[in-house]
Structure 1
Amino acid sequence: MPLNEGDPVVIWIDPKRAYISKLERGKRLDTDKGAIFYDNLIGLEYGSSLTLQTGAKAYLLKPTIQDLYSKGLKRPSQVLYPKDIGYILTTLSLNQVKTVIEAGTGSGFLTISLALSLSENAKIYTYDVREDMQKVAKFNANVLGVQDKIVFKLKDIREGIDEKEADAIFLDMPDPWNAIPKLYEPLKPSSTIIVFVPTVNQIEKTYFAMKNSGIIDIHVEELILREYQVKENAVRPRNIGIMHTGFIIRGRKSI
């Protein structure tokens, strides 16, 4: 289908020059390989290419969840890595999820990933105490065109949530153990609660807050990702990679 004004697009020139944008008439993207006028992109299709003034080619790609992290969305705070987001999405049984509760919003990377992955009727209710962070998340959601699936709430989730029934809950906050007791009742039976914490110190408090609230089937996990460098006759792991990012603690509600 042809690209329309307002559609998100990844403009890929090479691995060091990849940009995620929302097509708007009258705007342009300036690169050292040449300027790209968005008016010229409208009407093309994902997968199309164009030749820039320097002779370099630019390709138009449909944004993926991986692109959220690597291609230029605003992220004034640390965000979840794709390896963790991917695992979280599969753990949530997305085909069964209609209402997702999240805290905190941060830059909105998981929020947007959920919005891209959930069914059309699903909604994400994302809580945060910082209005400045939610403004960034709203901007990022608008770039990807998923703002209609997200309800932003400027409220401390430790005080409880407004929603009565949640199919899944995700927490990325400094003290999730202070929020978990208030979230057990609105979580539907057999549904999943997932907590992401960066340090070992936070695991024990979170684990027992979940257990003491009635959460069962609790797991604590860490994911390691190692990329390989491919050269002729010299394939080996890269010297620098994504190792520790945080711990995922997940469990399910019993009746």
Structure 2
Amino acid sequence: MRFIHVPIQEGDPVTIWIDNKRAFLIKVKKGKRLDTDKGYIIHDQLIGKEYGEIIKIAKGEAYLLKPTPMDIYTTLPRPSQVVYPKDASYIIYASGVQPGDTVVEAGTGSGFLTITLAYFLGPNGKVISYDVREDMQNKAKQNALMLNLLDRIEFKIKDIRQGIDEKDVSAVILDMPDPWNAVSKAYEALKPSGSLIVFVPTVNQIEKTVLQMRNEGFIDIHAEELILREYQVKENAVRPKNIGVMHTGYLIRGRKYIKGTSL
């Protein structure tokens, strides 16, 4: 199969990668410019280029990359704590969601998990994101707009503990202080065998959540923690980096069964 090269156009998102300390996610707009300590880049000069190309800047080179969800973690503003890639990727894998599915999440926060879900659910999928803070959702909307994913997301200002409007969704993901108080609402919204995934930062929250999930009709329940360690690679000096993303939170996952169906 021959790959079709599509040139960068105005309105396209582009990751400008100079080195591991200098990566910038921009949306191409005529007349704008990106300033860095290595030199500036005029947006107009990107139009017609292809992803993967290199351009010259005052103090070196810059690479034009097609943005991935990983780029949002190094380039977009985060006014609140976010779900990191190691946890977000596991959430997608463990939940079993696939392109075209509908997923409900609460709360929105900075929108990093929201955007990641929208990216993987594809153009026919939908993320319904609940939060009680309009200011946070406005920031999340701006972040989603950078990757042109806003049309895959529906934002709702509502306390999910008061109910979920959608029914027969593929997964519900809770990132909130008291998720056990929303477990029953998640059960009602999920399709049979659908997944509930909960992200909490402390051990104390695990017990309350798991016990409530058992009471409400969830099975295959697991509480897990993921540790990610990056390595520094130099000739004759390969070792773990001194700093990295270690503890971020705990993941609790389970699946809905239909109560009262035993023969």
TM-score normalised over the length of structure 2:
0.94
Task: List structure 1 runs of 4+ shifted beyond 3 angstroms.
Answer: none
The 8 Å contact of residues 97 and 167 in structure 1, kept in 2 or not, is answered as no
The unaligned stretches of length 5 or more in structure 1 are none
Matched, 1:106 2:109: yes
Is residue 35 of structure 2 the alignment partner of residue 25 of structure 1?
Answer: no
Q: How many residues align?
A: 253
Q: Give ranges in structure 2 of 5+ residues lacking alignment.
A: 1-5, 259-263
Name the SS for the 1:95 alignment partner: coil
Query: Which residue of 2 is the match for residue 209 of structure 1?
Result: 212
Q: Offset at 1:185?
A: 1.4
Q: What is the distance in 2 between the residues matched to 1:170 and 1:116?
A: 16
1:190 paired residue number: 193
Contact 2:130 2:156 in 1 (8 A): yes
Instruction: Name the aligned partner's letter for residue 43 of structure 2.
Output: Y
Task: Kindly state the Cα deviation for residue 23 of structure 1 after the two structures are TM-superposed.
Answer: 0.9
- Alignment deviations for residues 106-157 of structure 1 (CA, whole Å, 9 cap, x no partner): 0000000011111321110000000110010000000010000000001100
The whole-number CA distance in structure 1 between the counterparts of 2:239 and 2:90 is: 25
Q: Does 1:86 align with 2:84?
A: no
Matches within 5 A, 1:45-194: 45-54=50-59, 56-70=60-74, 72-95=75-98, 98-194=101-197
Letter in 1 for 2:63: Y
SS in 1 for 2:117: helix
| Cα distance, 1:114–1:122 mapped onto 2, change above 3 Å | same
C-alpha distance in 1 between matches for 2:199 and 2:51: 34
What SS does the corresponding residue of 1:153 show, helix, strand or coil?
A: strand
CA offsets 1:77-124 (integer angstroms, 9 cap, x no match)? 010111111111111223265210000000000000011111321110
State the TM-score, normalized to the length of structure 1.
0.97
CA contact (8 A) 2:179 2:209 kept: yes
Change in CA separation of 1:97 and 1:248 when aligned onto 2, cut-off 3 Å: farther
Q: What is the CA–CA distance in structure 1 between the aligned matches of 2:94 and 2:70, rounded to whole Å?
A: 18
Deviation, structure 1 residue 229: 1.2
- Counterpart AA for 2:149: V
Structure 1 position 164, deviation (Å):
2.0
What's the Cα RMSD here? 1.0
8 Å Cα contact 2:76-2:143 kept in structure 1:
yes
Measured in 1, the distance between the counterparts of 2:42 and 2:133 equals: 35
Is residue 254 of structure 1 aligned with residue 257 of structure 2? yes
In structure 2, what is the equivalent of residue 16 of structure 1?
Answer: 21
